[in-house]
Amino acid sequence: MRVVSLGDLVVDVVVRTRSAIATAADTPSEIALTVGGQGANVAAWCASLGADARWLGKRGEDAAGRLASDRLSALGVRMAGPVEPTGTGVVVSLVDLAGERSMFPDRGVAVTFRPEEIRPEWLDCDHLHVSGYALMAEPTRSAALRAAELAREHGARVSVDLASWSGIRDSGLEAFCDAVRVLAPDVVFANDEEAREVGTELVEALWIVSHGARGCSFGDDMREALPVTQVVDTTGAGDALAAGWILGGPELALEAAARCVGQVGAIPLASLQ
């Protein structure tokens, strides 16, 4: 299966606190440098699960960008999109003692991806997955909509992940919802907060809503989360779930999400094949 995942590619700095945060003082932590970005995460999990996966977006050719693209390529992901000399995004993920994370993104040049920079051959695929971050502002909103047009010319299905309830709110709920309607996805991935923010009546699609540790609803099919020995880091769990569903439905979705929360970082540590 050929999957294109449109969105950000960033360097992730994951900070796992080992105690309650001591404001204006020191908090013992474990810090890891890895690769992330919603578009990159889904592409990485798709490749790891056996797909012919391509990441599509704009990245920098600086040291951070080379680190990120090399890591993605090592997992079997093909890279597509314009490259700038500098400006690779960086996201700091703060993971608390329960494994829950708060994110502090600097998206860099990803936010400047324009529709005229897209080559039609990049969208020769069976499935296009769009990060909701790309729909939050121009010019990436128009780039994502153009990508969907090109993908559908090849008969591809289109999915979107709503990405962030706070990002939707801050970027403008009405404009975001209008963009989702124009995208007309076949599948919408969301968590409870994102689904409440926009309302599941927004578009006629299969809504796959994650309920965290309680599991996930695949339309009317509610599934419990798979048991894990320890929740290490929830960063990227929704992206792993999306990749698993695209390739294999609910069972593979839940398996990939369980693997993700048992490791540090949002992309697979190695191929799962």
- Residues annotated as catalytic (active site), given as ranges: 239
Closest by Cα among 99, 110, 116, 138 to 40: 110
Q: What is the DSSP string of 44-102?
A: HHHHHTT-EEEEES-EE-SHHHHHHHHHHHHTTPEEES-EESS--EEEEEEE-TTS-EE
Closest by Cα among 240, 229, 230 to 266: 240
Report the 10 Å Cβ neighbour count for 248. Answer: 15
CA distance 239 to 223: 17
Return the DSSP state at 224.
P
Closest by Cα among 95, 3, 80, 15 to 44: 3
